[in-house]
Amino acid sequence: MNFLLTIVGMALVDRKGRRFLLILGTSGIIVSLVGVGILFLRTETVSLDARSPVQAMITPSQELTLRFDREEAGRLLAAHSNTDKRIDANRASLAIIYSYGDFTAATTFVRSDDPAARPIEITRASCVPANKVLAFFKNPLGNLEAAQSAPLKIKKALVGQVPSARHGCLVALGLFLFMGFFAMGPGVCVWLALSELMPTRIRSNGMSIALVINQLVSTTLSGIFLPFVSKHGYSSIFFLFAGFTVVYFIVAAFFLPETKGKTLEEIEAHFEGKAASIAG
């Protein structure tokens, strides 16, 4: 999808213009991200937090081994008073978010209808880094020594309903649309537009700064993705990304001039003329 829509964007960039593709791309990104967020929200609202009964299963060695099958799902749902019966124990899922001191980890989702699924195993080694270097990258402010003797704490034990195959197809479609609109719009245009908009005398330094900022933001978002999702859910992160893209859309639609067919000198004169009129 990324490859094919990049070719489409390259074919259209000099015909339709940079601004047109940026507006089209960001509009499609907003719609697809909001759609995926709504799909995740619909499944996340059908979930229960069985933290207390799971916490009671922890062994004196501060570890946990839990086989999540239909019977165990039924016990967890009964302990939480699953009154609305929206979650079927025969088709339930479980993921546990846990911590030892300042360090947090999460298990993968397991399904009650999967007889081949391995038991959930939570140990100190699965959460606490082995040395100070790894501890710094996982949590720069974490106390490694305290975590090596801290008790196991269950932060969340989310029991939910396994979504239907149709739901999974819709999520995949939304993500494909997101990739496609990005490839056709910002993926093709952003660096081209930036290089054209910057004055010749600062273009090399300006592009370097823009690249550093781009990589810094990308790295930051990658770093906060999983912690944010574990605390607020997948729907929240997709809505947040959609909000960022709304700002992108506003800039492209109302502040970005069209540079198609203009020389670098004409573009620079455009901004110098605006600056002169503002100063006057």
**pLDDT per residue over 102-135, tens digit each?**
999 889 889 999 988 899 999 999 999 999 999 9
| pLDDT-based confidence at residue 279 (cuts at 50, 70, 90) | very low
| pLDDT-based confidence at residue 253 (cuts at 50, 70, 90) | confident
Question: Is the domain of 177 the same as that of 151?
Answer: no
Out of 163, 183, 201, a domain closes at 163
C-alpha 246/C-alpha 278 separation (Å) is: 27
* Separation in Å, CA 125 to CA 60, 130, 221, 278: 16, 7, 26, 61
Q: Are 121 and 65 in contact (CB under 8 A)?
A: yes
Residues above pLDDT 70, as percent of the chain: 91
pLDDT at 15: 84
Q: Which of 224, 106, 214 is nearest to 158 (CA)?
A: 106
| pLDDT-based confidence at residue 272 (cuts at 50, 70, 90) | low
Instruction: Pick left, alpha or beta for residue 150 (phi over 0 → left; psi -120 to 50 → alpha; otherwise beta).
Output: beta
> What does residue 132 show for φ and ψ, rounded to 5 degrees?
-70, -30
| pLDDT-based confidence at residue 84 (cuts at 50, 70, 90) | low
Question: Is the domain of 101 the same as that of 153?
Answer: yes
Kindly report the CA angle at 133 between 127 and 209, in degrees rounded to 5? 110
CA-atom Rg of the chain in angstroms: 25
pLDDT at 254: 87
Out of 147, 163, 179, a domain closes at 163
pTM of the full structure: 0.75
Question: Is the domain of 96 the same as that of 172?
Answer: no
Domain membership of residue 270 as a residue range: 2-43+167-279
Q: Are 5 and 183 in contact (CB under 8 A)?
A: yes
Average pLDDT over residues 62-69: 94
User: Is residue 60 predicted with pLDDT exceeding 90?
Assistant: yes
pLDDT at 274: 55
Question: Is the domain of 72 the same as that of 105?
Answer: yes
CA 121 to chain centre: 26
Question: Is the domain of 158 the same as that of 171?
Answer: no
Question: Is the domain of 135 the same as that of 177?
Answer: no
Residues 6 or more apart in contact with residue 244 via CB below 8 angstroms: none
Out of 133, 163, 193, a domain closes at 163
The number of distinct structural domains making up the chain is 2
